[in-house]
Amino acid sequence: MFIKKGSRTKDKNIYSFIEWYKLNLGIRADLVPVIEDVRLGANIELWKFERTRGSQYLSIQKKYLEYYLGRSGLYYKEQRGDYYVSKKPILLNQLWSREIETGEFCGYPKCCIDDFKKYCQEFLQNRLEKGPAVLFYHKVKEAIKKGSFNMVLFYTLHIPCDLDCQKTIILAESIKSVLESRDIEAAHYLMEYNRNLLCEFNYEYSD
């Protein structure tokens, strides 16, 4: 599968396209940190929209995303509804040749990638009753009760290895900063999305 590259717009503000504001806020929250060099790459799971919003919405978002990517100067590959986006084509090649995994491509801290894999394996081997996401949100719930939760973690795009993971906190602070300066709607969306996830986990997996 070939890597595609969008042509760089003459307008330095690549958020000026009307199509940018028609993109789903979750997509925008994924793309801004890549555009602003906070993250190495993004994995946009466009296929999820068909399940949550229907096939027509998926088709519309696919059109807007490809239009935007085609004019953004970003490199990308598409596979079965997943769009892998980066400024560096070598990362896409490394991902496709399996030299790196998706978490590394997206710029997540190695400690978090390793921890997530470990807990996934233990869960699949029935050595854990709950998966890594559920375990993490239980930690968040307890930290909020104690008043020790760092709210910047609501700007993460991955499951941290620990609530005190400094690499995650630094990354989350950078994501928060660029989203608030470039796309405040996407910043608010990401925070509320993660807060709502916490509420859903609390409801579904309450002790």
Residue whose pair of structure tokens reads 């555009």 in the numeric block: 35
Give the rounded percent of residues in the chain with a pLDDT score beyond 70: 91
Strand partners, 85: 42, 76
pLDDT computed for residue 71 by the predictor: 86
The yes-or-no verdict on residue 106 having pLDDT over 80 is yes
Q: Pairing relation of β-strands 41-45 and 82-86?
A: antiparallel
- The answer to whether residue 25 scores a pLDDT higher than 50 is yes
Say if residues 65 and 44 touch (Cβ distance below 8 Å): yes
Name the average pLDDT for the chain. Answer: 89
Mean pLDDT for 10-16 is 66
Instruction: Write out pLDDT tens, residues 40-90.
Output: 999 999 988 888 899 999 999 999 999 999 888 899 999 988 999 999 999
β-bridge partners, 84? 43, 77
**95, 105 contact by CB (below 8 A):** yes
Average of per-residue pLDDT across 105-124: 89
pLDDT above 70: residue 2: no
pLDDT score of 12 more than 80: no
Please tell me the distance from the alpha carbon of residue 177 to that of residue 33, in angstroms, as a whole number: 9
Which of 104-108, 131-135, 136-140 is modeled with the greatest confidence? Answer: 104-108
Cα 179 to Cα 140, 156, 184: the distances in Å are 23, 12, 6
Q: Name the token pair of 132.
A: 């890594």
- pLDDT band at residue 128 under the 50/70/90 scheme: low
pLDDT of residue 11: 47
| Residue the block writes with tokens 């690499």 | 167
Write the pLDDT tens digit of every residue in 153-188: 999 999 999 999 999 999 999 999 999 999 999 999
Nearest to 6 by CA among 90, 115, 85, 105: 85
Q: Which residue has the tokens 């949550």?
A: 52
**What three-state secondary structure class fits 68?**
helix
Lowest mean pLDDT among 64-78, 95-109, 190-204: 190-204
